[in-house]
Amino acid sequence: MKIQKTTLLSCLAAGLLSITGVAHAGLVLDTGAITMGVKDNGGLGFAGVGINLTGGPGDAIMPGCLCEGWGAASNGVGSYTYGDTGTYGFASSTFTSTGPANAVSTVVLSSGLTVVHTYSSAAGGSLFGVNVSIFNTSGSAVTDVRYARTLDWDVGPGHFADDFTTIYGGTTSGPGGNVLHTSFNPFAVPNPMSFRGSYGGVAANSNGVNVPGDLGAYFVLGFGDLLAGESVSFDTYIGAAFTTSSLLSAFGSVGIEAYSYTYDNDGAATYGWGFANVGLPPAIDPDPTDVPAPASIALFTLGLAGLGLKIRRKKSV
C-alpha cells in the first residue's frame, strides 16, 4: 500500500481515515475471472459468495461450514473473526469500495492495533491481491505481533472426500521466515496465539502434498515487537484457475513464498491462497513452463509455492 505511513497513522489514531469510494457492509468483488464475497471486517462469505471461479464447479468455501477468518495479536492477546460465529476483540470495522475488484477493510482492535486489508486484482484477474498492514495505534510499544489466517476448502463437485489439499510453509522442512506455524486443521477460531496439532494424518508444521479429505489450512505469521506508531506490511493472494499449473504460475508471477491450494478429484478447478513478502524466497518460478505438476517430487522439493511476506516498519514522526 503506497501511502506515507506517518500520515495514515495520524488519521487512524484520530478515527478520521477517509478513502474516496462508497462505504458498504461488505461486497462481492469481481476481477472478471473470479468473484469473492468480503465482509466489512475482512472475513469471506458475503451475500452467499466465498470465492468462485467464473465458469468453474462452484464456490470453494460456502458448501460446508464457513470455517474461515483471520486474527491479529499483540502482548499475548489475540483478536479474530471466524465465519458466522462473530468477532472477538474487534472495536470497529469499516469497508470502502473503489471499484469492482478494489476495496479497503479497516478494523480497529480493542488491543490498540489497527489492521487494514486492501483488495485489488492481481495476476491478470486470476488472483485477488490483499495487502495487509498492521499499525500500532495503541500509544505504547507492543510485543509479539502476529497475524493468522484460516480457511476450510470445500471445492466442488465433491466438496469433502474428493478434495486434495497441499500446504507449503516456506521451506522444504516446514515453516520459515515470518511463518511461525502451519496446520491442515481449519476448524477453530484463528487466534494467532494458538497453534494446532496434527490433522488429516499430517503433523503440524509439516508440508503436505495432495492430502485427501475435508481439510483446510491455518497459517500464523510473527513480526516481533512494534513501537508506538510503527507498522508492518505484507501481501496475501487468493484465487483460482482451471488447472493447478495455471494457479501455481499465477502464484509465481506475484512472488508467493508460502501457500495452500485444493482441488476436487472430479472437478476442473484449483483454488489457493498464499503469502508474499514474509521473509522467504519466492517458492515458484514465474515461468509457467518451469512449474512442475503438483504431485511431482520437484514441486515438493521447491516447497509447494508459498506465502511470502516482506516487512516494512517505520516509526511515526
Q: pLDDT (tens digit, 9 = 90+) per residue, 146-165?
A: 999 999 999 888 777 789 99
Mean pLDDT of 137-145: 98
Count of domains observed in the chain: 1
In a domain, 68, yes or no: yes
The dihedral region occupied by 43, where left means phi > 0, alpha psi between -120 and 50, and beta the remainder, is beta
Q: What is the pLDDT of residues 205-232, one digit of tens each?
A: 999 999 999 999 999 999 999 999 999 9
Q: 24-33 pLDDT, tens per residue?
A: 789 999 999 9
231 in any annotated domain:
yes
* Phi, psi dihedral angles at 104 (to 5 degrees): -135, 125
> Does residue 307 sit within a domain?
no
Q: What count of other Cβ atoms lies within 10 Å of the Cβ of residue 100?
A: 14
Instruction: Please check whether residue 174 lies inside any domain of the structure.
Output: yes
How many Cβ atoms from other residues are within 10 Å of residue 130's Cβ? Answer: 24
Query: Is the pLDDT score of 127 beyond 90?
Result: yes
What pTM, to 2 d.p., does this model score?
0.86
Is residue 278 one of the residues assigned to a domain?
yes
Residue 311, in any domain of the structure? no
Nearest to 277 by CA among 314, 231, 312: 312
The enclosing H or E element of 236 equals: strand 231-241
Decide if 309 is inside a domain: no
pLDDT tens digits, residue range 237-280?
999 999 999 999 999 999 999 999 999 988 889 999 999 999 99
Is residue 111, in this structure, part of any structural domain at all? Answer: yes
Q: What pLDDT does 60 receive? A: 92
Domain region containing 68: 5-16+26-302
